[in-house]
Amino acid sequence: MSKVSALYPGSFDPPTNGHLDLIERGAKIFEELVVGILRNTEKSPMFSLAERLEMLKTLTAHLKNVRIEAFHGLMVEYAKSIDATCVLRGIRAVSDYEYELQMALMNRKLEPTLETVFMMPADKYSYVSSRLVREVAQIGGPVKGLVPEVVEQKLREKLEPAYKFHDEMQAATARASGGKEKRKKKT
């Protein structure tokens, strides 16, 4: 079989453990895997393109056949420009399927020679999405185990006031419930 290069496109805002799991799986079956970060002009991302590039480069440094790049415009045109013959996308649950099917068929209409390949991340990441990670982190909630440590650190730096407020509230709640326990014991 000839060399198969695949493109794994996405927003990666931020990269999650689910993304990384899929990249590692993809790197095992494709000769070359390009992770293409969409230079998204409509949505305002939490992480700049430069930050997402840096995080993903760090996270995939151990995978020699993986390259991290940015793209804009039509994904199929970018795939063609880098000689990718496959597009890799992750499917976590049935709920992903409809959107992914629609996108894959539209991409096939735009470029019939490009095949979309779906892979499943480990089931422990089946509920993890960048959107939910952003939502939890914006309230200062814990994202340990959902994103790689470097991403967790970046989220803490970016959302420091939210984490500080959340940690202070937690500490105050713990103090208050400690006081209640003491009063209960006395009575």
The answer to whether residue 74 forms part of the interface with ligand PNS (CB under 6 A) is yes
Cβ proximity to ligand PNS, 63 vs 103, nearer residue: 103
| Bridge partner residues of 144 (DSSP) | 147
Exactly one of 23, 33, 34, 38 binds ligand PNS (CB under 6 A); that residue is 38
Alpha carbon 90 to chain centroid, angstroms: 11
Examine the residue annotation and report whether 72 is marked as an active-site residue of this protein. Answer: no
Omega within 30 of 0 (cis) for the link into 121: no
Examine the residue annotation and report whether 95 is marked as an active-site residue of this protein. Answer: no
Examine the residue annotation and report whether 134 is marked as an active-site residue of this protein. Answer: no
Cβ proximity to ligand PNS, 38 vs 46, nearer residue: 38
Examine the residue annotation and report whether 186 is marked as an active-site residue of this protein. Answer: no
Exactly one of 5, 6, 7, 10 binds ligand PNS (CB under 6 A); that residue is 10
Separation CA 161–CA 3 (nearest Å): 48
Active site residues: 19, 43, 92, 130
Binding site for ligand PNS (CB under 6 A): 9-11, 38, 74-75, 103, 106-107
